[in-house]
Amino acid sequence: MARMRVNGQALEFALDPATPLLWALRDAANLTGTKQGCGGTGQCGACTVIVDGSAALSCTLAIGTLEGADVTTIEGLANHPLTLALIAEDAIQCGFCLPGFTCAVAALLQQSPRPAAEQIDALPNRCACGMQPRLRRAIERVAGAGAPEPS
């Protein structure tokens, strides 16, 4: 059992406390925008969500450690300036990496509205389709517009 807020909504997961947040979100809350890429080993970033304002790998977080946490998934970022910038830059191919990328960058922009290139390069999220240059342009578009408001 674990209670938390997800995209502004109070949710109670009646699951084993060891259940990874990734699977609680996907299977119990039907928030399937969050993806598993690397098999839950914490290496690919596809499962990134925002937990209490910071990017977090949902495949590595047991829900039992998240009592009272505030979680944002890609579904909660539909109107985020970054999402709109990604659309404007046509920075989407297969889309599999995009939910995790969007959450990771949205958290970064909250903490650092004009991130340095090194901060962007340090993100674990990579696009296997080769969209990295467009993803970077989307970040620059939002950073150039100033700090995004939380959505």
Q: What is the DSSP string of 14-57?
A: -S-TTSBHHHIIIIIS--TTS---SSSSS-S-TTEEEETTEEEE
Out of 4, 6, 47, 139, point to the residue binding ligand FES (CB under 6 A).
47
Does position 45 interact with ligand FES (CB under 6 A)? The reply is yes
Cα separation, 85 vs 89, whole angstroms: 6
Crossing angle for the helix pair 81-88 and 98-111, to the nearest 10 degrees: 130
Please report how close the Cβ of residue 114 comes to ligand FES at its closest, in angstroms. Answer: 27
Does position 59 interact with ligand FES (CB under 6 A)? The reply is yes
Does position 123 interact with ligand FES (CB under 6 A)? The reply is no
Does position 43 interact with ligand FES (CB under 6 A)? The reply is yes
Out of 11, 15, 28, 38, point to the residue binding ligand FES (CB under 6 A).
38
Q: Which is nearer to ligand FES, 99 or 115 (CB)?
A: 99
Going by C-alpha positions, the residue among 120, 105, 101 that lies closest to residue 44 is 101
Under the rule (CB under 6 A), what is the footprint of ligand FES? 36-38, 40, 42-47, 57, 59
